[in-house]
């Protein structure tokens, strides 16, 4: 057996299991080795039966006194009841798929059982415990690793596969240079791997984990530093006089808020300096970030520079195009659009006009970073909702100009630790004020029983000429299934609201279909829009006053907040209904927070607090590679150490060409994958 072998060499992995594992990113034995437990269960000591308390998990060791079926033994779902005993008492063990399992037990033999103890008519029982014959190899006792759920493979099976890998541990060799190992007191990698999977005590787990988390974070930091280095950010940037925008501000139909004003002041002084701007503007949904971006683009155009604004979806890019065109055309500034669904001839025309400088402001999706997009004189690069982009996408865009000014806008409040990793030297402005007259969205949580009332309310609002969104449940990460449930909801609501114009938009639809529907909704010719989460980002329809979120328990706080931000964008009072179908405490707490607060920063903090210990901070959402073991929030101290080490490495060897860094280089490439076009 070797680390690079395919997963199918293991006992118990046929073609079907191999496929499931592959889908979860586990191709080789090495991948499985790096599939780490989510938590551990302490099953080192068994508990006497007379000490058991209902509602908790226990390990017991007991003899089977009798086996019997409660029903027809020839039917496959007939429950099997075992009466088991130790010196202190007896209890019941129940399996519902009894017929298959009966043969695994013999009367008078001893077994270990591990599971939740419940009470049934005054008798203690365990339903479907894990079990193991006493004395057989491969015990269920000890400190047991609990692996993350993979659909189609039980936790127990994964543990058995991991056991087979034990013979590989010695072949895991030290791959970090000695000075790094010593400075950071890292455990040997083979020791670390063994103890993270199968520890004998808690201290070993910690030592092992520290080493593995350090490895992961060192790889992350080295990759990020490499990308940053590559940006050559120290040259002189375009100097732009922001005072040119005064007349544009005077022409706006509204007064800038305090938050917008101070962000703009900061941007103005960045633009005026020879050092290129590198600024993040954080502001809640609806706080008016686009207006601030417009001021910067206006000034750039007036100073003879081109700007580009990249948005995460085509829908959003087109919406920006519309507002930018109408705001800029009175001043003779030309705005162009680039996205992947455009016809070749249209696209070519835009490319020509960009190169000639005819188009002064370009908006688009990530299509704007493709290599054939060339500017005449790019002075300002803006990314909207930046968390949707990878770090390297951002850096590719800046490479299209001579050290252009960079403005990054996001509605996702980012915890401090993470902001430092993502942006390093970025300056941060926050817009914490809302435009005048904006009222917080009134938020109500309910369950199935409240649905009729909610719909009645939706009807009343529509009768008053307002529009509404219903967000269809997020079922799993499959667009197809989501589309189906949205379609079902659409059929039901079309019937219920037969006298209104009801439409559906979901991710499986073609781009131009989606566009057409969104356009109709924005124009007011659709009253009720049923949607999957495609509307999450940035859609702006001020007349919409109701947001109904189905299965709100399936959304995270940040997402709920984003969704709710689609309403309350005009002056009238808006409403959000969270229909929760779960009794989970966390889900309810999330809904309670939503009802209580409308401050995105407060909600983000609560979100972090509510994350369970096993939940890893979603780095993917922020454009970072996926991490297996590390949590950027909880492992902040390890992160600091890893960052120090990475800094030294990149200073010493900027292209990682030294022999001692070859393994690290491989890992960086693997972690960042396509995202990073490193000439490493």
Interface positions with ligand ADP (CB under 6 A): 254-257, 260, 283, 285-291, 411, 435, 540, 569
Residue 288 or 401: the one with the smaller Cβ distance to ligand ADP is 288
Burial annotation 460-481 (CB, 10 A radius, 16+ → b, else e): ebbeeebbbbbbbbbbeeeeee
Nearest approach in angstroms of CB 289 to ligand ADP is 3
- Please check whether residue 613 is in contact with residue 39, taking contact to mean a CB–CB distance below 8 angstroms: yes
Nearest approach in angstroms of CB 44 to ligand ADP is 53
Question: Rg (Cα) of the chain, in Å, rounded?
Answer: 29
Residue 290 or 306: the one with the smaller Cβ distance to ligand ADP is 290
Closest residue to ligand ADP, judged by C-beta, is 288
Closest alpha carbon to 558 in 400, 388, 342, 407: 388
For the chain, what's the residue count?
Answer: 680
Nearest approach in angstroms of CB 434 to ligand ADP is 9
Q: Which tokens in the block code for residue 29?
A: 């034995």
Residue 145 or 286: the one with the smaller Cβ distance to Mg ion is 286
User: Among ligand ADP, Mg ion, none, what binds residue 257 when CB lies within 5 to 8 Å by partner kind?
Assistant: ligand ADP
Residue 14 or 330: the one with the smaller Cβ distance to ligand ADP is 330
Residue 287 or 598: the one with the smaller Cβ distance to ligand ADP is 287
The label of the residue with tokens 């922020």 reads 622
Residue 411 or 668: the one with the smaller Cβ distance to Mg ion is 411
User: Among Mg ion, ligand ADP, none, what binds residue 412 when CB lies within 5 to 8 Å by partner kind?
Assistant: none
Nearest approach in angstroms of CB 656 to ligand ADP is 39
Nearest approach in angstroms of CB 288 to ligand ADP is 3
Residue 134 or 252: the one with the smaller Cβ distance to ligand ADP is 252
User: Among Mg ion, ligand ADP, none, what binds residue 283 when CB lies within 5 to 8 Å by partner kind?
Assistant: ligand ADP
User: Among ligand ADP, Mg ion, none, what binds residue 245 when CB lies within 5 to 8 Å by partner kind?
Assistant: none
Nearest approach in angstroms of CB 430 to Mg ion is 15
User: Among Mg ion, ligand ADP, none, what binds residue 285 when CB lies within 5 to 8 Å by partner kind?
Assistant: ligand ADP
What is the spatial distance between Cα 110 and Cα 104, in angstroms, rounded to a whole number?
A: 12
Closest residue to Mg ion, judged by C-beta, is 538
Question: For helices 557-564 and 600-610, what crossing angle results, to 10°?
Answer: 160
- Please check whether residue 510 is in contact with residue 481, taking contact to mean a CB–CB distance below 8 angstroms: no
User: Among Mg ion, ligand ADP, none, what binds residue 208 when CB lies within 5 to 8 Å by partner kind?
Assistant: none
Nearest approach in angstroms of CB 437 to ligand ADP is 7
Please tell me whether residue 312 binds Mg ion under the rule CB under 5 A: no
User: Among ligand ADP, Mg ion, none, what binds residue 256 when CB lies within 5 to 8 Å by partner kind?
Assistant: ligand ADP
Which SS3 state, helix, strand or coil, does residue 334 take?
coil
Residue 28 or 430: the one with the smaller Cβ distance to ligand ADP is 430
Task: Give the C-alpha distances (Å, rounded to integers) separating 379 from 296, 367, 612.
Answer: 10, 19, 44
* Range in contact with Mg ion (rule: CB under 5 A) among 70-78, 531-539, 600-608, 621-629: 531-539
Which SS3 state, helix, strand or coil, does residue 678 take?
coil
User: Among Mg ion, ligand ADP, none, what binds residue 254 when CB lies within 5 to 8 Å by partner kind?
Assistant: ligand ADP
Nearest approach in angstroms of CB 439 to Mg ion is 19
Q: Which long-range contacts (CB under 8 A, 24 or more apart) does 199-204 make?
A: 199/40, 199/143, 200/142, 200/143, 201/143, 202/143
Torsion of CA 477, 482, 485, 488, to 10 degrees: -170
What is the spatial distance between Cα 568 and Cα 518, in angstroms, rounded to a whole number?
A: 18
Nearest approach in angstroms of CB 316 to Mg ion is 7
Please tell me whether residue 199 binds Mg ion under the rule CB under 5 A: no
What is the spatial distance between Cα 225 and Cα 476, in angstroms, rounded to a whole number?
A: 35
Nearest approach in angstroms of CB 533 to ligand ADP is 17
Residue 309 or 578: the one with the smaller Cβ distance to Mg ion is 309
Residue 288 or 390: the one with the smaller Cβ distance to ligand ADP is 288
Q: What is the tally of helices (H) and strands (E) in the chain? A: 22, 21
- Please check whether residue 566 is in contact with residue 539, taking contact to mean a CB–CB distance below 8 angstroms: yes
Phi, psi of 71 (to 5 degrees): 140, -165
Residue 124 or 291: the one with the smaller Cβ distance to ligand ADP is 291
CB-side exposure of 341: number of CA atoms within 13 Å? 12
Nearest approach in angstroms of CB 291 to ligand ADP is 4
Nearest approach in angstroms of CB 197 to Mg ion is 45
Residue 282 or 552: the one with the smaller Cβ distance to Mg ion is 282
What is the spatial distance between Cα 646 and Cα 656, in angstroms, rounded to a whole number?
A: 11
Cα separation of the two ends of the chain:
30
Nearest approach in angstroms of CB 283 to ligand ADP is 5
Burial of 344 (0-12, 13-18, 19+ CB in 10 A): exposed
Q: Which tokens in the block code for residue 379?
A: 């002075």
Nearest approach in angstroms of CB 281 to Mg ion is 10
What is the spatial distance between Cα 472 and Cα 457, in angstroms, rounded to a whole number?
A: 18
Residue 431 or 474: the one with the smaller Cβ distance to Mg ion is 431
- Please check whether residue 471 is in contact with residue 535, taking contact to mean a CB–CB distance below 8 angstroms: yes
Residue 411 or 579: the one with the smaller Cβ distance to ligand ADP is 411
- Please check whether residue 107 is in contact with residue 66, taking contact to mean a CB–CB distance below 8 angstroms: yes
Site string for Mg ion, 622-651 (x = CB under 5 A): ------------------------------
User: Among Mg ion, ligand ADP, none, what binds residue 471 when CB lies within 5 to 8 Å by partner kind?
Assistant: none
Which SS3 state, helix, strand or coil, does residue 504 take?
strand
What is the spatial distance between Cα 638 and Cα 623, in angstroms, rounded to a whole number?
A: 21
Which SS3 state, helix, strand or coil, does residue 118 take?
strand
* Range in contact with Mg ion (rule: CB under 5 A) among 156-164, 504-512, 533-541, 609-617: 533-541
What is the spatial distance between Cα 359 and Cα 337, in angstroms, rounded to a whole number?
A: 9
User: Among ligand ADP, Mg ion, none, what binds residue 364 when CB lies within 5 to 8 Å by partner kind?
Assistant: none
Instruction: Identify residues 577-606 at the interface with Mg ion (CB under 5 A).
Output: none
The residues facing 307 across adjacent strands are 361, 380
Residues 6+ apart with CB under 8 A from 105: 64, 67, 82, 111
Please tell me whether residue 538 binds Mg ion under the rule CB under 5 A: yes
Residue 222 or 287: the one with the smaller Cβ distance to ligand ADP is 287
User: Among Mg ion, ligand ADP, none, what binds residue 263 when CB lies within 5 to 8 Å by partner kind?
Assistant: none
Nearest approach in angstroms of CB 605 to ligand ADP is 20
Footprint of Mg ion on this chain (CB under 5 A)? 538
């Amino acid at each position: 057996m070797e680390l690079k072998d395919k997963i199918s060499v293991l006992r118990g992995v046929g073609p079907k299991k191999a496929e499931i594992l592959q889908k979860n990113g586990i191709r080789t034995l090495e991948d499985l080795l790096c599939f780490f437990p989510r938590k551990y269960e302490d099953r080192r000591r068994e508990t006497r039966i007379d000490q058991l308390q209902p509602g908790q998990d226990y390990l017991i060791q007991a003899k089977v006194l009798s086996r019997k079926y409660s029903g027809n033994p020839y039917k496959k779902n007939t429950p099997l009841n075992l009466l088991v005993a130790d010196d202190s008492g007896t209890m019941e063990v129940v399996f519902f798929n009894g017929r298959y399992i009966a043969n695994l037990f013999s009367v008078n033999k001893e077994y270990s059982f591990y599971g939740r103890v419940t009470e049934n008519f005054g008798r203690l029982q365990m339903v479907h415990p894990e079990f193991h014959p006493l004395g057989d190899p491969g015990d269920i006792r000890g400190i047991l690793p609990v692996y993350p759920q993979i659909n189609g493979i039980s936790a127990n099976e994964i543990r058995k596969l991991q056991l087979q890998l034990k013979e590989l541990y010695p072949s895991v060799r030290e791959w970090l240079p000695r000075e790094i190992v010593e400075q950071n007191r890292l455990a040997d990698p083979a020791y670390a791997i063994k103890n993270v999977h199968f520890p004998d005590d808690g201290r070993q787990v910690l030592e092992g984990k520290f080493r593995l988390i350090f490895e992961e974070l060192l790889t992350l930091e080295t990759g990020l530093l490499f990308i940053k280095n590559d940006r050559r950010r120290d040259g002189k940037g375009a100097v732009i006089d922001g005072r040119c925008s005064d007349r544009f501000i005077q022409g706006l139909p509204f007064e800038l808020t305090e938050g917008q004003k101070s962000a703009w002041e900061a941007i103005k002084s960045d633009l005026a300096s020879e050092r290129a701007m590198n600024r993040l503007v954080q502001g809640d949904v609806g706080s008016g970030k686009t207006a601030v971006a417009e001021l910067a683009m206006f000034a750039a155009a007036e100073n003879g520079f081109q700007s580009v604004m990249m948005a995460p979806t085509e829908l959003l890019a087109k919406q920006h195009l519309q507002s930018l065109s109408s705001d800029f055309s009175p001043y003779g500034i030309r705005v162009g659009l680039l996205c992947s669904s455009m016809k070749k001839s249209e696209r070519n025309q835009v490319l020509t006009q960009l190169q000639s400088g005819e188009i002064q402001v370009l908006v688009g999706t990530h299509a704007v970073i493709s290599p054939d997009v060339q500017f005449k004189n790019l002075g300002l690069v803006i990314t909207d909702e930046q968390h949707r982009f990878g770090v390297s996408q951002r850096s590719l865009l800046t490479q299209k100009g001579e050290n252009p000014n960079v403005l990054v806008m996001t509605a996702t409040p980012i915890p401090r630790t993470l902001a430092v990793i993502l942006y390093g030297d970025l300056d941060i402005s926050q817009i914490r004020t809302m435009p005048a007259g904006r009222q917080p969205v009134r938020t109500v949580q309910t369950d199935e029983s409240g649905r009729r009332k909610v719909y009645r309310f939706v009807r009343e609002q529509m009768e008053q000429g307002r529009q509404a969104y219903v967000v269809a449940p997020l079922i799993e990460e499959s667009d197809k299934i989501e589309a189906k449930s949205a379609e079902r909801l659409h059929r039901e609501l079309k019937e219920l609201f037969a006298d209104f114009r009801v439409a559906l938009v979901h991710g499986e639809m073609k781009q131009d279909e989606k566009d057409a529907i969104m356009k109709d909704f924005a124009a007011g010719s659709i009253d009720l829009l049923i949607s999957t989460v495609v509307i999450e980002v940035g859609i702006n329809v001020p007349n919409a006053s109701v947001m109904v979120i189905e299965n709100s328990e399936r959304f995270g706080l940040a997402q709920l907040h984003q969704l709710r931000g689609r309403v309350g964008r005009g002056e009238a009072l808006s409403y959000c209904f969270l229909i929760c179908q779960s009794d989970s405490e966390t889900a309810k707490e999330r809904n309670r927070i939503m009802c209580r607060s409308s401050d995105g920063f407060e909600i983000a903090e609560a979100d972090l607090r509510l994350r369970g210990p096993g939940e890893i901070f979603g780095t993917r959402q922020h454009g970072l590679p996926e991490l297996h073991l590390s949590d950027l929030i909880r492992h902040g101290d390890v992160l600091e150490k890893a960052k120090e080490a990475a800094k030294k490495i990149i200073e010493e060897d900027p292209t990682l060409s030294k022999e001692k860094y070859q393994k690290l280089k491989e890992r960086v490439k693997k972690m960042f994958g396509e995202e990073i076009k490193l000439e490493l």
